[in-house]
Amino acid sequence: MSEYLPGLEGVPATKSNISDIDGEKGILFYRGYPIEQLAELSTFEETSLLLLDGYLPTAHELAMFDEQLRGNRRVKFNIRSLMKCLPPTGHPMEILQTAVASLSAFYPGNECLTSPEACEDLDYIHNMTVKIIARMPVIVAMWEHIRNGYDPIEPRSDLTSAENFLYMFLGEEPDPVLARIMDICLVLHAEHTINASTFAALVTGSTLASPYQVIAAAIGTLAGPLHGGANEKVVQMLDEIESPKQVEKWLDAKLKNKEKIWGLGHREYKTKDPRAIILQKLVDKLIEERGGQVSPKFEIAMALEAAAEARLAEKGVYANVDYYSGILYEEMGIPTDQFTSIFAISRAAGWLAHWREQLSDNRIFRPTQVYTGEPPRDYVPLSKRG
């Protein structure tokens, strides 16, 4: 194949049985299970194990996995010392990438990948997966305190992944409703076929790099505003609009100037992102729980979505997963620049599932190109150049 397709749009890069999308109908499956069912009935721990192993675990298998996650939350003090040396103005995604990349120096054992049996050592792959999924939320929460001049809060083993993250981040036991909303958000963001960050993980994994480097590469890719960073842009956009009364005037001006409307549109979906539908229901639940006492951003967001749908639906542009997630996080007391970090701690489950799948039948990625440069020519000595 020699045809150049910008962004590799529509070009199969791998075979996978982890997740699937029907963009026309707005359906997302993890291992064949609809995302709606997983969001309602599952947990982040169970969904992660489903993505990794390919089937819904037994009660014993889930309990063992949960126990392993809880037992691997602590990180060595060297990581904390390293993070204290980083500038407090650093973006949380930059800090997360740095800290995750450094884990291989503090937790050696990657030599397994250089042996012929590496792809068959499922114990190694499982153990590395547990350590990364368990420690990424801890690192994110640690940075929130460190950058504000405080020592981080120690993790607890008596809380779920979502509960412990909120506890470490906010410094108090979370409200059960908010903890459940966070858990659902983690389920929704855990996997989404071969997106940009997952592809970065596949390419890095295909070189047999350390899994920490694999995840660091994926984190760097996720940080971009055209990928995971879009949820930050949504909240900034809603702040700019200021009031539901300003929505239509603001939107028409943006469309006239052909500017991007953050949180709207998705390359895969021609209808509303199924994850956005679930998140909007969570918004409604939170509004009900708080008796309507929530941020006016909710009203602006709903007004903007309605106005945009009236103007853009015929083009297949609807709300995506980033549209409501940031607003929910802000209601939990999470700063805007930490939104994408939460995306990352969830998507690590999907990245690691793809890493495992890549190793099972590995071949290093080496795409070709369409050369558009000069034809062959002779070198001109410096003394003869005009």
What confidence score (pLDDT) does residue 2 get?
67
Q: Has residue 337 been placed in a domain?
A: no
Beta bridge partners of 264: 319
Residue 249 has pLDDT above 80, yes or no: yes
Residues 214 and 280 in one domain: no
Q: CA 130 → CA 120, 160, 190, 296, 355, distances in Å? A: 17, 14, 15, 39, 13
Residues 34 and 155 in one domain: yes
Q: If you average pLDDT over every residue of the chain, what do you get?
A: 91
Burial of 85 (C-beta count, 10 Å sphere; 0-12/13-18/19+):
exposed
User: How many Å apart are CA 255 and CA 208, to the nearest integer?
Assistant: 45
Residue 63 has pLDDT above 80, yes or no: yes
Q: Has residue 381 been placed in a domain?
A: no
The predicted model gives 216-245 an average pLDDT of 89
Matching residue, tokens 């039948």:
361
List, for residues 152-187, the tens digit of each pLDDT value.
999 999 999 999 999 999 999 999 999 999 999 999
Residues 265 and 235 in one domain: yes
% of the chain at pLDDT higher than 90: 64
What confidence score (pLDDT) does residue 327 get?
85
- Confidence grade of residue 323 (pLDDT, cut at 50, 70, 90): confident
What confidence score (pLDDT) does residue 283 get?
86
The predicted model gives 241-255 an average pLDDT of 91
What confidence score (pLDDT) does residue 1 get?
53
Residues 323 and 356 in one domain: no
Residues 298 and 322 in one domain: yes
Residues 159 and 303 in one domain: no
Q: Has residue 322 been placed in a domain?
A: yes
The predicted model gives 18-42 an average pLDDT of 96
User: How many Å apart are CA 308 and CA 35, to the nearest integer?
Assistant: 25
Give, for 22, the enclosing helix (H) or strand (E). Answer: strand 19-22
- Confidence grade of residue 32 (pLDDT, cut at 50, 70, 90): very high
CATH number of the domain to which 291 belongs = 1.10.230.10
Residues 221 and 235 in one domain: no
Q: Has residue 221 been placed in a domain?
A: yes
CATH number of the domain to which 189 belongs = 1.10.580.10
Residues 38 and 178 in one domain: yes
Q: Has residue 368 been placed in a domain?
A: no
- Confidence grade of residue 115 (pLDDT, cut at 50, 70, 90): low
Residues 163 and 210 in one domain: yes
What confidence score (pLDDT) does residue 120 get?
62
List, for residues 127-150, the tens digit of each pLDDT value.
899 999 999 999 999 999 999 999
- Interior angle at CA 202, CA 138 and CA 106, nearest 5: 40
- Confidence grade of residue 79 (pLDDT, cut at 50, 70, 90): very high
The predicted model gives 2-25 an average pLDDT of 88
Q: Has residue 378 been placed in a domain?
A: no
Q: Has residue 367 been placed in a domain?
A: no
Residue 116 has pLDDT above 60, yes or no: no
Count of domains forming the chain: 2
What confidence score (pLDDT) does residue 119 get?
55
Q: Has residue 375 been placed in a domain?
A: no
The predicted model gives 254-272 an average pLDDT of 87
The predicted model gives 344-358 an average pLDDT of 96
Residue 147: both structure tokens together: 């950058």
What confidence score (pLDDT) does residue 136 get?
97
Residues 215 and 234 in one domain: no
pTM here is 0.91
Q: Which of 46-55, 117-126, 163-172, 215-224 has the lowest mean pLDDT?
A: 117-126
Instruction: Report yes or no: 98 and 86 within 8 Å, Cβ to Cβ.
Output: yes
The CA radius of gyration of the chain, in Å to the nearest whole number, is 22
- Confidence grade of residue 54 (pLDDT, cut at 50, 70, 90): very high
Residue 276 lies in domain:
230-331
What confidence score (pLDDT) does residue 111 get?
59
Residues 52 and 198 in one domain: yes
What confidence score (pLDDT) does residue 55 get?
97
Catalytic residue list: 266, 322
% of the chain at pLDDT higher than 70: 96
Between residues 263 and 86, the one the model is more confident about: 86
* 3-state SS assignment for residue 102: helix
What b-and-e string marks burial along 290-300, b requiring 16 or more CB atoms within 10 Å of the CB?
eeeebbebbeb
Residues 23 and 163 in one domain: yes
Beta-carbon neighbour count of residue 242 at 10 Å?
Answer: 12
